Amino acid sequence: QKEVEQNSGPLSVPEGAIASLNCTYSDRGSQSFFWYRQYSGKSPELIMSIYSNGDKEDGRFTAQLNKASQYVSLLIRDSQPSDSATYLCAVIKAAGNKLTFGGGTRVLVKP
Amino acid sequence: NAGVMQNPRHLVRRRGQEARLRCSPMKGHSHVYWYRQLPEEGLKFMVYLQKENIIDESGMPKERFSAEFPKEGPSILRIQQVVRGDSAAYFCASSPTTSGANVLTFGAGSRLTVL
C-alpha cells in the first residue's frame, strides 16, 4: 500500500464545473495535509494546507479532511482552463519531518 | 527577496559522469529538502538537511548519491557515475527553522538528462 494514494486521472471537467480530487493516506497518526499544484515543467506551489477535520475554504478551493477515514479531498469550484495542472496531495506523517507526496492527479478543464 | 535558487536548470551528462546540483535556500531559511520527480510521477523525498547536518536521508539511494549543506554556500546534491535511470527533475525546497516541512518553498528544479 502506498503511503499517499491519488487517482492519476486525467480528470476532465468542463469550464465552470466543480473538480473533485481525492487522496487517501496510510499513516493514521498523520497531522498535516497539503495540496500542491504543479503545471507541466514547473515546480509545485502550495494551494492549501489543512490540519483539523472538516472543511477549509480559500477562494475557489475547498479542502476537506476526515482523519477517521484517512481521507483528504480538494474541490475546485468554477473550474477555469488555467486550473489545468497536476494536483499533488502531501502529508506529514506522525512525528515526521518531511512531506510525503502522492503521485498526483492530472486535471484538464475544457472550455 | 529571491526565492529558492537552483542551478543548473538543465544538465546533460553521459553515463558514468558526475552530476552536481546546487540549491540556495530562501533568505532566512535554514532547512533544505531534496526531492526527485521521474516523468509522470509524484515527488519522492530524498534527503533533509540543516546547516552542516543531515537530518533524514532515508530516501537517498545507498550508492552514488550524497548531499551536503555546508556552513557557507549552497546545498549540493551529488550523483556519481550517473546512469540513465537518474534522468529526472530534482527539486530543492527550503523552510524556516520554526516551521519545518509545514511551510516549504520549492525551487524551479534541475532537470538531469543522462545520455
- pLDDT, tens digit, 9 for 90 and up, residues A70-104: 999 999 999 999 999 999 999 998 777 789 999 99
Please state, for a pLDDT cut of 90, what percent of chain A lies above it.
Answer: 86
Joined together, the cell numbers standing for residue A89 give: 496531495
Joined together, the cell numbers standing for residue B62 give: 545507498
Average confidence (pLDDT) over B54-80:
95
Q: Which residues of A touch B48 (CB under 8 A)?
A: 97-98
Nearest-CA residue of chain A relative to B97? A97
Query: Mind telling me how many Å the CA of B32 is from chain A's nearest CA?
Result: 10
Predicted pLDDT at A106:
96
- CB-based contacts of B2, cutoff 8 Å, min separation 6: B24, B26, B27
d(CA A82, CA A42): 14
Predicted pLDDT at B1:
55
CB contact under 8 A, B42 and A103: yes
Q: Which residues of B touch A92 (CB under 8 A)?
A: 100-102
Any A CB within 8 A of B90 CB:
no
